[in-house]
Amino acid sequence: MLANDIASLQRRGYTLEQITESLRGEGVDLSTPTLKSYLSRAKAAKTRRLRAPVAAPSPSPAAKALPLKDVGALTKAEALTKSGKDAFLVKDKDSY
């Protein structure tokens, strides 16, 4: 909440130690390394908020035209061959 105010104080020449002492005088008990950590976290969060979200690419017209197979329509035999220890074996070989 105070990151902008603290950054403003730093631009005016105040050190983090001086700012920490001032905050202690107002009843905020924290150390200079803790304040520095909080400020770096606030800066990182602000950077993440400012970055524009990347839009997902739209599917190609060909991909839209392909029908999706209904998962519920799999037979029990199809379901068994799609999972388990035989899921990745080639079925045209007799042995491995």
Confidence of residue 96 (pLDDT cuts 50, 70, 90): low
Q: What is the pLDDT of residue 45?
A: 84
Angle ∠(45,49,55) on CA atoms, nearest 5: 135
pLDDT tens, 31-89? Answer: 999 999 999 998 888 888 777 566 666 665 555 554 555 555 555 555 555 555 655 55
Q: For every residue of the chain, which 3-state class applies, written as one string?
A: CCHHHHHHHHHCCCCHHHHHHHHHHCCCCCCHHHHHHHHHHHHHHHHHHHCCCCCCCCCCHHHHHCCCCCHHHCCHHHHHHHCCCCCCCCCCCCCC
